[in-house]
Amino acid sequence: MIIEKFLNKWILFFLLLIPILGFVLEEPYYITLTTKVIILGIAGIGLNLALGYCGLISFGHAAFFGLGGYVTGILSFHALNSELMFSWPFIASGSSNMLVIWPIVIITSALLSFIIGVLSLRTTGVYFIMITLAFAQMLYFFAISWPNYGGEDGLSIYMRNSFPMVNTMDPTTFYMICLFWLLLAVFISAKLINSSFGMAFQAVKQNEERVKSVGIETFKVKLLVFIISGTITGLAGSLYTDLNRFVSPSVLNWQMSGEIMVFVILGGIARLYGPLVGAAFFIVLEQTLGVYTENWQFWLGLILILEILYVRSGILSLFEKKLKYEK
Amino acid sequence: MTSILFFEQLLNGVQFGTMLFLMSAGLTLIFGVMGLINLAHGSFYMIGAFSAALIAGLTGSFWLALLASLSGAAIAGVLIEIIIIRRLYRRDHLDQVLATFALILLLSEGVRWCFGAFPLFLDIPSNLNGTLPILDNLIYSKYRLFIIMMGFLIAFGLYILITKTRLGVRIRAGQNDRQMISALGVDISKLYTIVFALGASLAGLAGAMIGAIQSVEVGMGEPILILAFVVIVIGGIGSIKGALIGSILVGVTDTIGRIFLPEVLKIFMEPASATSVGSSIGSMLIYILMALILIIKPSGLFGKN
């Protein structure tokens, strides 16, 4: 664990170094690529709270990621066309200001995770995995067949949403915004995990019956974790739309849920920086294998399987010094 | 006129349902006996379709192609079970989901590597081409009727296999208590391989039969895999009867919903918005159905708690 903390400091240092590196090498592409890693890492950090620390295997986090993405896309779509979003029950217009968009994304994601959570948490085990998947698929098909916002073709926004005083179209500026959110997500996770509430939801993962028997209402605990988890992932979705200036139903697809899950497991489940490392590994692999072969997914699949069969506890565990009495 | 359309769509729904049954029967057996969530089940559907297209291209015979789909998927199933899946039975659901998710990537790209990215086509044999009059004004595709018939035949075959044969006794025993039957001297790992191969071959057959109506391409298995999961969750995981009823329910709901929901909504709304709202809700309908059933019965219609 001590080594992991040491490693986390290096990860942070490296993330701060990236903009300088990109500037010196005159390769803004690396900055954009790292931004993608950070955003996907945030999505994973969200899922990790539910999946890693509380044992809620959600196979539907694409729902939140996609919702955040679509809310952002739709708001800025209306702002750019200067159309009203709706005029009943109150008049609402779009917005392309991140400071307006983020609270709306946070509220809608929290609301969606509340609804999905209340319904899904009645089930356990495989049924929970499948019902979360079903909710995400519902949104996916809805996005495909709803023609107002691009349907299957997705929705393009021509300008990245704005942030007061800075130019978000500059890769380094946008990178810093995403880095801020990453640090906040890590900070919130760390605070939660070490709080008494955190003790409760980590205990639920180990033995729910026992937690119940000491008088904790586990349903409420799980629901709250699920809402926080979904909200963080939703925010990542908002940033992802801004990064690509495009949102399409593929962010709601079950493969997206699978990928977010892969980030968490690949990096190491229930580790603070695990999802970030997992996302980085995934993206780097995609980029490097993509250069050599068209069939990079084949090798990705192979590496994943080997990782699950033999490494088991994620990349970060490779750096952990085994104590003598551990095997 | 509407009743004719309704019957036709009903038959389409049943046809879709029987194919879903072939997929979900294997999935539910594999889960029931080995406790494995197999996301890669859709890949066997794809492998079956590709083996069929390959053999049909070489020999020109549809029947040999169907045989090839069964055996191709079964062989792939045995190999994958022995090399990878076997190590996952003792793992938790999370590892299984992830490993089989990775397996999808591996198998899809592997098939794309061998066959290229272009879709292949499988021809329906001439004696199943064309239509058959069923009722006065109702004519229906012979091939789709053939699919429905095959589906029910296989459902019956599975019923006999599970309830009347020695293998079936072992499978049921495996569902009840894995440790006990291995203690009683049944070679459990062989049983697992057989069950896995059986599931894979059923999926392969479904892939070949649907491949003849649609096209045979990489990634064809995943949409139907998700639907098969919906089916087994609705029916109750591990129950073949649940899989059959769930499949028909999902097949019919999906087909009928997509066609008739916009029509029904037109009564209350203006036509343009009725069409868009109807078609979007129509495509979500089975997921809504699943969510409702799970909320009322958290372990599915025929699942045991």
- CA Rg value for chain A: 20
Are residues B109 and A146, on separate chains, in Cβ contact within 8 Å?
A: no
The candidate with the shortest Cα–Cα distance to B289, out of B254, B240, B242, is: B254
**Rounded to whole angstroms, how far apart are CA atoms A12 and A8?**
6
CA distance B96 to B35: 10
Only one residue has tokens 């349903």, namely A219
Query: A8 falls in which pLDDT band (50, 70, 90)?
Result: confident
Number of domains in chain B: 1
State the residue range of the domain holding B240. 2-296
Separation between Cα atoms, residue A149 and residue B211, nearest integer Å: 32
Spatial distance between the Cα atoms of A125 and B35, rounded to a whole number of angstroms: 11
Q: How far is A37 from chain B (nearest CA, A)?
A: 20
SS3 for B267? coil
CB B77 within 8 A of CB B203: no
Q: Please report, for the domain that includes residue B118, its CATH number.
A: 1.10.3470
Closest among B39, B222, B287, B298 to A135, alpha carbons compared: B287
Distances (CA, A) of A255 to A132, B20, B103, B125: 13, 21, 13, 36
Give how far B40 is from chain A: nearest CA, Å.
12
Asked if the model's pLDDT at residue A96 lies above 90, the reply is no
C-alpha distances in angstroms, A72 versus A94, A169, A285? 9, 16, 29
Residue A110 has pLDDT above 60, yes or no: yes
In-domain check, residue B36 = yes
Q: What is the pLDDT of residue A320?
A: 65
Residue A208 to residue A218: CA distance in whole angstroms? 7
Measured between alpha carbons, how far is B142 from A26 in angstroms, rounded to an integer? 65
Cβ within 8 Å, pair A133-B94: no
Minimal Cα–Cα distance from B291 to chain A, Å? Answer: 7
Q: Pick the residue from chain B with its C-alpha nearest to A295.
A: B109
Angle at alpha carbon of residue A138, lines to A136 and A142, rounded to 5°: 120
**Is A145 in contact with B226 (Cβ distance < 8 A)?**
no
Q: What is the spatial distance between Cα B232 and Cα B242, in angstroms, rounded to a whole number?
A: 7
pLDDT averaged per 10 residues in sequence order, chain B, 305 residues: 80 92 92 89 95 90 92 96 91 88 91 86 81 78 90 92 90 84 87 94 94 88 88 88 93 89 80 78 85 83 75
pLDDT for res B198: 94
- Residue of chain B whose alpha carbon sits nearest to that of A143: B280
* B161 assigned to some structural domain: yes
B284 reaches A (C-beta below 8 A): yes
- From chain B, the residues in CB contact with A261 under 8 A are 97-98, 101
Interchain pair B93, A301: CB under 8 A: no
The full set of domain ranges for chain A reads: 2-319
A198-212 average pLDDT score: 91
Task: Specify the pLDDT at position B288.
Answer: 86
Per the prediction, chain A carries an average pLDDT of 87
In CATH, the number for domain A2-319 is: 1.10.3470
User: What six digits make up the tokens of A166?
Assistant: 């800075």
Per the domain annotation, does B130 fall within a domain? yes
Summary count for chain A: helices (H), strands (E): 12, 4
Per-residue pLDDT at B1: 55
Quick check: A327 pLDDT over 70?
no
Phi, psi of A325 (to 5 degrees): -85, 0
Only one residue has tokens 């298995």, namely: B221
Chain A residues contacting B via beta carbons under 8 Å: 51, 57, 59, 119, 122-127, 129-131, 133-135, 137-138, 141-142, 144-148, 254-255, 258, 261-262, 265, 269, 295-298, 300-302, 304-305, 308-309, 312
Place of tokens 């009203």: A84
Report how many Cβ contacts below 8 Å link chain A to chain B.
Answer: 128
Which chain A residues are Cβ-neighbours of B294 within 8 angstroms?
A: 119, 122-123, 127, 131
Partner residue facing A265 (CB), from B98, B105, B233: B98
Q: Please give the distance of CA A120 from its chain centroid, rounded to a whole number.
A: 20
Cβ contact B233:A131 at 8 Å: yes
Give me the pLDDT at residue A163, please.
Answer: 87
* pLDDT class of A89 with cuts at 50, 70, 90: low
Is residue B261 within 8 A of residue B279, CB to CB? The reply is yes
Q: Is residue B303 part of a domain?
A: no
| Residue A61: both structure tokens together | 């986090």
Closest chain A residue to B116, measured at CA: A295
pLDDT tens string A51-75: 999 999 999 999 999 999 999 999 9
pLDDT at A182: 95
pLDDT on residue B153: 93
pLDDT at residue A326, as a whole number: 46
B305 located within any domain:
no
**CB-CB neighbors (< 8 A) of A308 in chain B:** 95, 98-99, 102
Average pLDDT over residues A246-259: 92
Q: Cβ of A310: how many Cβ atoms within 10 Å?
A: 8
Radius of gyration of chain B (CA): 20
What confidence tens digit (pLDDT) does each residue in A269-326 have? 888 888 999 999 889 888 888 888 778 888 888 988 888 888 767 777 777 655 444 4
Establish if B84 touches chain A: CB-CB under 8 angstroms: yes
Phi, psi of B60 (to 5 degrees): 80, 0
Which of A142, A298, A308 is the closest to B284 by Cβ? Answer: A142
Distance in angstroms (rounded) separating the CA atoms of residues A243 and B38: 34
The complex scores an ipTM of 0.82
pLDDT at res. A139: 92
Q: Which of A146, A147, A308 sits opposite B98 (nearest CB)?
A: A308
Rounded to the nearest angstrom, the minimum Cα separation between A323 and chain B is 24
